[in-house]
Amino acid sequence: MNLSKTDYILYRECPKNAWMKIHRPDVYYASELSEFEKHIIETGNEVELVARQLFPSGVLIEGRDEKARLETLDLIAKKDQTIFQPIFVKDGFLAAVDVLKYDPENDGFQIYEIKASNEVDEKVHLYDLAFQVALLRKCGIKVTGINLLHLNKEYVRDGELDIIKLFSIDDVREAIEDMLSVVSDEMDIALAYLSAEKEPNGHCCCVYKGRSSHCSTFKHSNPHVPEYSVHDLNRIGSSKKKLMELIDSNVFHIHEADGRIVFSESQQNQIDAHVYDRVLIKKDMIAEEFSKLEYPLYFLDYETFPSAVPLFDGYSSYNQIPFQYSLHVLETPESELKSYEFLHMGSDDPCPALVESLQSHIGLKGSVIVWYKPFEKSRNTEMGIRLPGCKEFFESVNGRVFDLMEIFSKQYYVHKDFKGSSSIKKVLPVLVPELSYKELLIKEGGSASQAWKKLVDGKYSKEEAVEIANALKVYCNLDTYAMYMIFKRLNDIL
Ligand code: SF4
């Protein structure tokens, strides 16, 4: 086998997971990539394409096969070309370099690794580069420069995209040279480990981590751990000692955990709800929270797109672009519920039109109800900065925000089916079982975000575009209608 730099990095994160990827792809790839994972891959490709503009004469090597390797050797021998994705293979290692540029002053080559992130992640990016340098040196290439090319978070777009300002180039040669011998040794160890045909022995150390840390092969390696286990207890991943105590006592089922150790309030509530099928409702606390509300009530939700490459003036890398909102308005407790929506269909900045529409529906009085206020409040603040004429409006809105999620995160209502979460996707089926996201074409924010970008980039046929625009509206509308219905159900039991 040839160990790629991607698998070496995966090995550094978890040797067993890397082994599973290579030898048991049926298990490793059993679950489909999430929208978030797909977005990360697409973003990486997009940023790489943009970064290549910094090297206008670069030549791309396509493929990873022997032909590509020979083409690489050919171009390197010419010593006059910048090469994108040259392929190197030697002693069981393989890597494609993002950019290899001839350095005539030192008669060597400079490596540039392109990362679609705002920051350098030393645990990943430097090891990724060190792997490449070690391999290039094995191949007899004189490496005279080692650089990380990543997005510059300070850059704010103003007019035409400034490619030079969009990126930061960090010279990391010294750091890489310092770690090279350690990395070379580790590469040999990784190659030996990953070449073994037999599945590695030993337990999966993730049994000591919360559910969100488990990889796609966790179930295969830990068949004794139930689907819903102590790993799903609220924030148990941050209470390492507690989880270790449970696991070392062979406690995996939530009902076995009761009374074993001292849990946090939310963890104990989750256990009680599960074990005794008990619904905890603190009516007095909910009533107190609701007494803060002022009519009209505005149930508001944004959908956003975080673009790595700033698309419009005033945006930096990964700033969220609000492109859609849904708003349900209840003027008085007795009024009929009104619904408003906005979906930007143009390829220009959605903000001015979105804000104009929002201002025509949200008045100067009344509570603005959202689910997880840090998100909506941050978008409001950012829009106020980008459109200074609307700053006061958004300050007023933010001053009136009421986070309905807090009823659940503050433990005023706990149900076993929430499974320790206060996500609207968990709360809705319990409080309003007749409403569901399950049958929708777009079911969650990540898909909405991707769908909108494809829509405005003209990636859909006419018919598909109509269907997707409608699906976006239905999805966002459900978010705010769900909030209204949850609010109503809670009100009804007070
Ligand atoms: S579950 Fe954790 S320890 Fe097990 S293979 Fe996956 S990442 Fe590695």
Query: CATH no. for residue 426?
Result: 3.30.420
* CA distances to 73, 132, 314, 417 from 87, in Å: 9, 10, 39, 51
| Same domain as 351, residue 316 | yes
* CA distances to 180, 360, 420 from 423, in Å: 45, 30, 9
pLDDT for residue 34 = 80
Ligand 1 center from residue 22 Cα (angstroms): 14
217 lines ligand 1 (CB under 6 A): yes
| Same domain as 224, residue 156 | no
33 lines ligand 1 (CB under 6 A): no
What is the amino acid identity at position 389?
G
| Same domain as 418, residue 342 | yes
Q: How far apart are CA 493 and CA 487, in angstroms?
A: 10
CB of 424 closer than 8 Å to CB of 405:
yes
Calculate Rg over the CA atoms of the chain: 27
What are φ and ψ of residue 91, in 5° steps? 50, 30
409 by Cβ neighbours in 10 Å (0-12 / 13-18 / 19+) ranks as middle
Tokens of 491: 């009100």
CB of 342 closer than 8 Å to CB of 356:
no
**Helix, strand or coil for residue 311?**
coil
307 lines ligand 1 (CB under 6 A): no
Give the residue-averaged pLDDT of 356-375: 97
Q: Which atom of ligand 1 is nearest to 16's Cα?
A: 5
Substitution site in 13, 27, 221 for ligand 1 pocket (most atoms within 8 Å of beta carbon): 221
pLDDT band at 277 (very low <50, low <70, confident <90, very high): very high
Tokens of 308: 């790595």
Give the global pTM. 0.92
Q: How many domains does the chain have?
A: 3
Domain that holds residue 233: 205-277
Question: For residue 92, what is the domain's CATH number?
Answer: 3.90.320
Of the candidates 102, 62, 106, the one whose C-alpha atom is nearest the C-alpha of residue 85 is: 62
CA-proximal residue: ligand 1, atom 4 (nearest)? 204
CB of 403 closer than 8 Å to CB of 286:
no
Q: How far apart are CA 19 and CA 477, in angstroms?
A: 44
211 lines ligand 1 (CB under 6 A): no
Tokens of 305: 């797109």
pLDDT for residue 203 = 67
**Position 290 in a domain:** yes
374 by Cβ neighbours in 10 Å (0-12 / 13-18 / 19+) ranks as exposed
| Same domain as 479, residue 387 | yes
CA 470 to chain centre: 25
**Position 442 in a domain:** yes
Q: Which atom of ligand 1 is nearest to 13's Cα?
A: 7
> Among the three residues 195, 222, 252, which one is the final residue of a domain in this structure?
195
| Residue 81 pLDDT greater than 90, yes or no | no
| Same domain as 80, residue 132 | yes
CA-proximal residue: ligand 1, atom 5 (nearest)? 17
Q: Which atom of ligand 1 is nearest to 209's Cα?
A: 2
Instruction: Looking at 237-307, list the stretches that DSSP marks H as alpha helix, in order from N- to C-terminal side.
Output: 240-248, 254-257, 265-276, 283-290
| Same domain as 184, residue 88 | yes
pLDDT band at 389 (very low <50, low <70, confident <90, very high): very high
> Among the three residues 171, 195, 219, which one is the final residue of a domain in this structure?
195
Give the residue-averaged pLDDT of 138-156: 97
What are φ and ψ of residue 320, in 5° steps? -75, 135
**Position 200 in a domain:** no
| Same domain as 61, residue 27 | yes
| Residue 450 pLDDT greater than 90, yes or no | yes
**Position 172 in a domain:** yes
150 lines ligand 1 (CB under 6 A): no
| Residue 238 pLDDT greater than 70, yes or no | yes
**Helix, strand or coil for residue 247?**
helix
CB of 118 closer than 8 Å to CB of 153:
yes
> Among the three residues 195, 223, 245, which one is the final residue of a domain in this structure?
195
pLDDT tens digits, one per residue of 17-66: 999 999 999 999 988 888 778 888 999 999 999 999 999 989 999 988 99
| Same domain as 182, residue 218 | no
Query: Does residue 296 have a cis bond before it (omega within 30 degrees)?
Result: yes
Tokens of 371: 């689910």
Substitution site in 10, 11, 17 for ligand 1 pocket (most atoms within 8 Å of beta carbon): 17
CA-proximal residue: ligand 1, atom 6 (nearest)? 215
| Same domain as 168, residue 237 | no
According to DSSP, the β-strands at 338-343 and 320-330 are antiparallel
Q: Where are the beta strands (DSSP E) in 116-274?
A: 143-151, 167-171
| Same domain as 130, residue 7 | yes
Instruction: For residue 299, give every residue at least 6 positions away whose Cβ sits within 8 Å of its Cβ, in sequence order, or none.
Output: 327, 328, 329, 330, 369, 370, 480, 481, 483, 484, 487
Ligand 1 center from residue 258 Cα (angstroms): 26
214 lines ligand 1 (CB under 6 A): yes
| DSSP H or E stretch at residue 402 | strand 401-403
| Same domain as 247, residue 109 | no
**Position 97 in a domain:** yes
| Same domain as 469, residue 356 | yes
| Residue 200 pLDDT greater than 90, yes or no | no
Substitution site in 204, 222, 229 for ligand 1 pocket (most atoms within 8 Å of beta carbon): 204
Give the residue-averaged pLDDT of 97-111: 96
pLDDT for residue 202 = 67
221 lines ligand 1 (CB under 6 A): yes
Of the candidates 144, 494, 141, the one whose C-alpha atom is nearest the C-alpha of residue 333 is: 494
pLDDT for residue 37 = 84
Task: Tell me what the pLDDT averaged over the chain comes to.
Answer: 95
